[in-house]
Amino acid sequence: MKRVFKNFINIIICKFFSFFSLKKSVFFDSYGGLYACNPRCISESLHKKHPDIKQIWNIKKGIQGVPPYIQQVQKNSFNYFKALFTSKICIFNSGIIIPRKRKGQFFLDTWHGDRAFKNVSITPIGEKSSIAYQQIDAVLSGSDYADRIYREQLCFTGEILKTGSPRNDLFFKFTQEQCEKIKNDIGGSAFDSFLLYAPTYRNLDEGKADLNFSALLDRLEKRDQKKWCCLVRQHYKVKFANSWCKDSRIINVSKFPDVNELLLLTDILVSDYSSIVGDFVLLKRPVVLYVPDLDEYNKTKGLNFKLNESPFVFAQNESDLYDKIVKLSIDKARGNCEAVLDFYGKVCEDGHATERVIRYIEEILG
């Protein structure tokens, strides 16, 4: 009933704004109000090439780092709906649930996890995810694997653009100066190497593993004779473990705005079921999955494939995790990453995704 009422209101609003002409403007919505992910990369590149094109973003209050050329609106405000229903192009990264859009509008979705582990058929609140893609005209894909997710789990029937993910272009054109700046920004300039721990959010306290990173860092420093640092990036609702606070080599980067910039610094990634892994393997560096709750997670959330039938290196207990991390050489890691990319099928990430999307936008705007 609540969804029916919302749909009715949206139809009324859409009809109201149909009396306004469509504008040669682009509306962006990333994660429901953040300035992030693929839409951000597209937005910044679009402004460099076409500063005359008006950009409007749904931005939550308090979000920092939004450029002055962007008009900010808050969700469900008059200006939000005006932008949504009068912009020629609207760009999202997780769909949008509305019953209709205006004739002549074009809705593009970039998605935010091209090579995700989790089944995305059902949303966290129990709705079918496919309803968020009923008004989408085209989606971005970086692999055959993503194509299947769109068709089979999101029931998307529109155009799939094999562009790659714009946020991953960074991996193909970064500089040492960029890396040094990121190190300084996170307070890690004293360290030589970085391990990033980035687990997915489970809605459960037990989803957080208070791993003994101090012991792992000791082993890595003994192996390499270098200063190692552990970066921890968790969901904002998950508390930073007290034991981690006692070691200055462990830095909380959960509030750092761009996770892909953190990946540039990362020498070893430890994650679990997060799509961050599918991005990181593009850098051909060591990645190990820590999945002590594998069976339970698969039963409750659902995975798209069996880990033991994939090329991923994974561990189900702390001791095994540390052993695999320490023993995984750069050469083995490179081969493993290539096997993972082959597993996803025709991965088309080459550093030019944003350029392709901009050309597509230019064609639509005319």
What is the DSSP track for 51-80?
A: TTSEEEEE--TT-----TTEEEE-TTSHHH
> Residue 86 pLDDT more than 80?
yes
* Whole-angstrom distance, CA of residue 175 vs CA of residue 5: 51
Asked if residue 1 has pLDDT above 80, the reply is no
Whether 203 shows a pLDDT value over 80: the answer reads no
Strands (E), 198-261: 228-232, 250-252
For residue 62, give the amino acid letter.
G
pLDDT of residue 237: 66
State pTM to two decimals: 0.93
pLDDT of residue 271: 95
The tens digit of pLDDT for each residue in 286-300 reads 999 999 999 988 888
Q: CA 77, CA 70: separation in Å to the nearest integer?
A: 17
The residue ranges of DSSP E strands in 110-198, in sequence order, are 138-141, 159-162, 193-197
Q: For residues 17-46, give the mean pLDDT.
A: 96
Average pLDDT, the chain: 92
**pLDDT score for 207:** 42
Residue 208 has pLDDT above 90, yes or no: no
The residue behind tokens 């996770």 is 259
pLDDT higher than 70, residue 205: no
Instruction: Flag whether pLDDT at 56 surpasses 90.
Output: yes
Separation between Cα atoms, residue 121 and residue 128, nearest integer Å: 6
The predicted model gives 226-247 an average pLDDT of 84
Please check the confidence at residue 206 and state whether its pLDDT lies above 60. no
pLDDT tier for residue 239 given thresholds of 50, 70 and 90: confident
User: What is the model's pLDDT at position 247?
Assistant: 92
Q: Which two tokens stand for residue 155?
A: 């029931």
Who contacts 77 (Cβ-Cβ below 8 Å, separation ≥6)? none
Phi, psi at 161, each rounded to 5°: -95, 115
Kindly list the distances between the CA atom of residue 241 and the CA atoms of 9, 30, 237, in Å, as whole numbers in the listed order. 44, 29, 12
Running DSSP on this structure, what letter comes out for residue 153? I
Q: What is the pLDDT, as a whole number, of residue 138?
A: 98
At position 39, the amino acid (one-letter code) is P
Backbone angles phi, psi at 73, to 5 degrees: -130, 155
pLDDT at 20 over 70: yes
Give the residue-averaged pLDDT of 14-25. 94
